[in-house]
Structure 1
Amino acid sequence: MTARRHLRAAAIGAAGLVAGLLVGPGSSAQARDADVELAYDCDFTSGEHPVRIHVTGAYPDAGTVGRPVQPGRVTARVTLPPAALEGLLPDGTSELAGTVSLTALVTQGTRSAEAVWTLGAPAVPVGDGPEGLTLEHTGEVPSVTATAPGELRIAAGAVGLRLRPVTGGELSGQELPAVDCAPADGQDTLLATVPVTGRTAPSLPADPSPTPGEPGDGASEDPGDGGRDGIAVEQPPAAPPTQCPAEPPADGLDEDFVIQPPPGDPVRLFYPPAGGSHGCAFAVGLANVEKLGGAMIVNDPAATPQLLNARAAVRTATRLRTQPGGAFTRIDSYGEMTLPDAESTFLTFGFQPVSAKVEFVTGPITISTATVGSPPDRYNLAVAGFYQSLRVHDVTINGTPLDVGDNCRTARPFPVRLNGDFPDYTNVIIGGPLRGTVTIPEFTGCGTGGEDLDQLFTASLSGPDNLIAMNQGRLCVPSGGGVNGCPPVVPPLPGQEPEKAP
C-alpha cells in the first residue's frame, strides 16, 4: 500500500480526532505527592521579613531518558506576617490577590537547569489576625526532560511575589512593589526526586568553545536548550488572563435562545440605564462525538483558557402572578468568547495515532434565566445559547501530514443550547454546570488537489446527540462594589468537581 493510499485508508479515523483525548507533553507514570514547608527571607518596602511558603504537588515515580517528566498542578501557600503588610496596602484595601514566581532548581549529577513556576492566587480578605494573611497560589508548571539516566532532583530557589490590592470591591490596576525572597539559610529546599532510566540520548553538536567547569560537561546554561546529556525545560502555556477585557461585548441578545413565558398576558420589559454589568468568567468543558464515543476538552484549563466577556442583566422581563399566565421573572444577559483551538490525538484502528487541531468559531452567547409560576409549583430555568461551527486543520497520521486544506469545516453554523439545573446553576453571576446536546452538520471543503474528503469526515462526525458539558465560573464584575469573583477563577472540568460535604 502506498503512503498516500495508507493516509486515505486512515482518513475516517482522522475524522475521529475531534473526539480524541487531549494528550499532554508530560509523563503519565504514577505520581506521588510532595509536601514541603519552607522559610524565606523577603525584602518588603518596610524591610526584611520572614515568610512561610508551603509547597505541595505531585511528581512521577520515575522518568525515562528523552521523555518529559511532568509535575502535577503545584500549590504554593504563602503566609505574609502582619508586620510585612504594615504601610504596604493602600487605604480601603479589603482583599489581596497575588502571583508567585518560584524558581525550581533542577539538577542531575553535574547538570543543571532552572524552571520558573508562575502561580496565581485569587483575592482573599485582609484581616488583622496574629498569623498574618495566606495566599494560595496554584497553576501548571513546566515539564523537564533528561537526556541521560540518573536521579533528577527538584529544589526550591528564589521567589518573587507580586501583590494586587482590591479596594471598594474592584481589583486595583496598581501592582504593589515587587517583593524578592531568598530561602532562609540552613534548610533543605528539596521538593522531589525522580529516578530517570534508559539509554543516554544521542548528543547534540557540541558548542565549539565550551567553557571548562561550567555545568557542564554538556549541560546547557539555557534552560530551554537540553545541550549534550543535559536537562531541557519546556515552559507551560501562558498563564490565563486575570483581568476582564477593557471593553464589554458588542453584540446583543439572540431571541432564539431567550426563555419564553407560558401563554398569557405579555411580560413587562425593563432595560437598566447602564446597560447591565460588565464582567467576565472562565467556562471550561467537554464535548462528545456520539458516533465515536470519545470526548474532547473545550477551553482546556491546563493550557491557556480564555474568558467569557459578558454583560449581565441587560434586560428583565416580569409578569405578576395575578395576571393571566401567572408569575414569570426572567433576566437576560449576553457575552462573547473566543475559544482556543483544541489539539487532539486519536488511535485509529487501535494503533494508528492521528492528531489534529480543531478551531471553534463561536457567535454571540445569550444567557437567559427565569423563575416560572408561584409556590408550590414554582420552578427555575437557565439557558446559554449560541451558534458555532468547527474547522479541522493540521492533521497528521502517525506524524505524516494529511492535507485537508484550510477550509475543512462544518457546512454551516449549528445551534448550541445548554441548560442549567437550579440550584446548581442560578444565574450568570454565580455560574455553575451547563449541559446540552447538539447536531453536528455535514462537513465541506475537506481535501486538496482534487481529493474530496468531505464524506469521510461527515460519516465519522456528523449527526445528533453529541453531548456538551461546561462549567462556568463565578462572574468577576470589577465595578460591582463588593461583588466577589475577582480575579476570575478557572473552574474544574465537569466530573472533576470536589465532592460536596454531606
Structure 2
Amino acid sequence: MNVKPMGIDGRRSVRLASVATVTLLAGLLSGSGSAAEEGGAEATVGYDCALPGGTGRVAVGVTTDFPESGTAGTPLESGPVTVDVRLSRADLDTLVPAGTEVVASTAALDVEVGQKDRSATARWTDLTAPGSAIPTEGDMSLAHTGAVPSVTLPAEGDATFTAGRLTVELRPVTDGGAETGTASGTSVTCEPAPDADRELATVPVSGDAPDPWPSQSAGTDRSTDPAAKTGGTIAVEPGKALAADEDPCPVDPPTGTVDWSDAPKPPEGAPVTELDIPGGGGLGCAYAVGLANVYKLNGAMIVNDPAKNPGLISVEVNVHRGLRAKTAEGGTYLRLDSLANLALPDADSTFLTFGFQPVSAKVEFENGPMTISTGNIGDAPNKKYFATASFTQSLRIHDVKVNGTPLDVGPNCRTEKPFKVVLNGDFPKYVNVFLGGPMNGTVDIPAFSGCGTGGEDLDNLFTAAISGPGNVIAMNQGMTCVPTDSSTFCPPTMPALPGQETPVR
C-alpha cells in the first residue's frame, strides 16, 4: 500500500518508507441510491424522527463498500459502512442537557435485502460516532462507522439493499469528557420518509446457470438450484460476536507509573492537588493505528497496520488526578492521567536508502509505559481542553535484506538510547481516553549502535539513512472498551488510518 507522506513534498517517487517509520507509534452525500460502482455506493435518505418536540425531518447519508458483484451461495461482504446523521441545533437542544458541549452516539440501521420475491432484513448495529463538539448554530453531523454482517444470496439475480428503520442513541459528554466519559443516553427512532428514495445499492449476483426458481411457487424443481444451499432464502450472517466466556479486552494491566510531565502546565497560582485514584475508571483496551514519516527518506508508512493483526493498548483509565479549584489563585485546572502499555508486533518495512537502494527489515519495539493526560484549563468562555500521550521507545532492527540479499546486522542493532514520543490531540477531535481520536507529533530518532557482525560496523549506515529530527507522526486511537463499564464500547473497534476517515459531507 502506498501512502503519500504527510507534510512532505510527495513528487519524488519513494516506496513505503523506512525501518524507523514503523517505530513511530501512536501513530476517522450526494445523490440518491444507486448501483454499486467500483466497490462503493453512497445515498442520502430522508427520515422522519420522533423528537421531543414532535416529528422532525432528518437527512441521513449512507456510505457503503459493496462489491461490484456477488456469487450465489457465497457470502457477500459489504465492508465497513458510515451512517452520517445530520441534526439541527434546535433538535439537539431538545435531546441533550443544557450546557452540553460534546456529544457521542451509536446508531443501528435496518437494511432490507431483496432478490426477486425473496427478502430478509440485515441489522447494521453498533455503528459508533466519537465525541464531537456541538456547533453554536446550523446542523451537526454525526458520522457513525462500523462493520456489518454479510449476506448470502441463494440464486442468480440482482440483489437490492434498501434503508429501513434507524435508531440513534445520543450520549452527552460531561465536562469535556474528562471526568466520567459519557453520560446516559437519549434514544431517537426514525422511519424513512414516505417520499424518500431508500435504495442504497444494487449488486448483480451470478450463478452457474440462470435461476431455475424464479418465484417461490409450489411444484418448482429445486434439485439443482444454488438456493438449496440456503433453503431458498436470503441468509444474513450475524456480525462478529463474542462468546459468553470470551473476554472483549484480552490484555494484561499496564505496568509502571503515570508521568504527567509532558501535559500542559497550569497557569501560575495556587498549587495543584495531585491525587491517585485506586481503580480509576477501570481496565480497558483500544486500538491505535497511524502513519509516520521519516524526514530523511521523504517517505511514510503504516504503523500498527490494521490489516496485520494489530496490537491493543492496555489502559487503566483515569488513575490519577490533578485539580485546582476555580476560586483558587490562577483559576481552574483539571488533569486526568491514564496509564497504558502498548505491545506492538514486529513490523515489516521496505524503504529506499539514499533514494535508490531497496532495503527491507523487521522491527522489534520496546515501549515504556504510556501516560495519556486529558483535561481543561480555565473556565468558559476561555476554557481550553488538552490531550497528550507520551512514552519512551527503542527499536531493534533484524532480518535485513538489501536488494533481496540478506544482510546480517547482528542480534543487537538498535537505537543507541530510548527516545521520547509526545503526541497531542486537539479538542473536540480528541475529547478523552474513552472516545479516542486523532493525535499528532514529531520525534527525534537517535543514532543506531550494535549493527553489524564479523567486524563490519553498519551503525553509520542506519544513522545516516534514518536518524534525526522532524519525523511527523499521525495516529488515530479507537474508542476504549472497559468491560466493567456499560457506557463504553466493547469489543474495541478499529479506527480508520489518518487521512482515510469517511469525510463529512
Asked whether the two chains share a fold, i.e. TM above 0.5, the reply is yes
**Do 2:334 and 2:376's aligned partners in 1 also have CA atoms closer than 8 Å?**
yes
Identify if the C-alpha distance between structure 1 residues 173 and 260 changes in structure 2 by more than 3 Å, giving closer, same or farther: farther
* Aligned residue number for residue 455 of structure 1: 460
Number of aligned residues: 329
* Aligned residue number for residue 19 of structure 2: 18
Distance 1:247 1:124 in 2: 33
Q: CA deviation at 1:365?
A: 0.6
1:288-342 deviation digits (Å, cap 9, x = unpaired): 1111111121100122111111111112221122211211111111111111222
* Aligned residue number for residue 493 of structure 2: 489
**Do 2:357 and 2:402's aligned partners in 1 also have CA atoms closer than 8 Å?**
yes
Distance 1:75 1:260 in 2: 40
Identify if the C-alpha distance between structure 1 residues 382 and 172 changes in structure 2 by more than 3 Å, giving closer, same or farther: same
* Aligned residue number for residue 249 of structure 2: 244
Q: CA deviation at 1:56?
A: 1.9
**2:19 partner SS:** helix
**Do 1:257 and 1:386's aligned partners in 2 also have CA atoms closer than 8 Å?**
no
Find the partner of 1:32 among 13, 16, 38. 38
Residue 244 (structure 2) pairs with residue 173 (structure 1): yes
In structure 1, what residue type is equivalent to 2:277? Answer: P
- With a CA cutoff of 8 Å and minimum separation of 6, indicate the structure with the bigger relative contact order: 2
Find the partner of 1:302 among 307, 324, 349. 307
Find the partner of 1:293 among 298, 307, 310. 298
**1:300 partner SS:** coil
* Aligned residue number for residue 480 of structure 1: 485
Q: CA deviation at 1:272?
A: 3.3
* Aligned residue number for residue 56 of structure 1: 66
Structure 1 residues 406-421: aligned runs within 5 Å = 406-421=411-426
Distance 2:66 2:40 in 1: 6
Find the partner of 2:270 among 265, 271, 290. 265
**Do 1:473 and 1:490's aligned partners in 2 also have CA atoms closer than 8 Å?**
yes
Q: CA deviation at 1:485?
A: 1.6
1:370-424 deviation digits (Å, cap 9, x = unpaired): 2111233221111100000122111112221111112111001101000111111
**Do 2:21 and 2:293's aligned partners in 1 also have CA atoms closer than 8 Å?**
no
Q: CA deviation at 1:354?
A: 2.2
Identity fraction in percent: 49
Residue 321 (structure 2) pairs with residue 321 (structure 1): no
Distance 1:32 1:437 in 2: 36
Q: CA deviation at 1:499?
A: 1.1
In structure 2, what residue type is equivalent to 1:32? Answer: E
List gaps (5 residues or longer) in structure 1.
Answer: 1-12, 22-30, 36-53, 60-70, 86-96, 105-122, 132-154, 166-170, 176-241
TM-score by length of 2: 0.56
Distance 1:279 1:268 in 2: 26
List gaps (5 residues or longer) in structure 2.
Answer: 1-13, 23-36, 42-63, 70-75, 82-108, 114-118, 123-145, 154-166, 170-186, 193-225
**Do 2:481 and 2:490's aligned partners in 1 also have CA atoms closer than 8 Å?**
yes
**Do 1:431 and 1:473's aligned partners in 2 also have CA atoms closer than 8 Å?**
yes
Distance 1:409 1:58 in 2: 46
**Do 2:437 and 2:478's aligned partners in 1 also have CA atoms closer than 8 Å?**
yes
**Greater mean deviation of Cα atoms: 440-449 or 262-271:** 262-271
**2:261 partner SS:** helix
In structure 2, what residue type is equivalent to 1:400? Answer: T
Residue 355 (structure 2) pairs with residue 345 (structure 1): no
Structure 1 residues 101-500: aligned runs within 5 Å = 161=237, 173-174=244-245, 243-245=248-250, 247-348=252-353, 352-481=357-486, 483-500=487-504
**2:66 partner SS:** strand
Q: CA deviation at 1:75?
A: 5.4
**1:33 partner SS:** coil
**1:256 partner SS:** coil
Distance 2:436 2:472 in 1: 19
In structure 2, what residue type is equivalent to 1:489? Answer: T
TM-score by length of 1: 0.56
Q: CA deviation at 1:72?
A: 10
Distance 1:34 1:16 in 2: 29
Distance 1:441 1:348 in 2: 17
Q: CA deviation at 1:500?
A: 2.0
In structure 2, what residue type is equivalent to 1:17? Answer: S
**Do 2:21 and 2:292's aligned partners in 1 also have CA atoms closer than 8 Å?**
no
In structure 1, what residue type is equivalent to 2:374? Answer: T
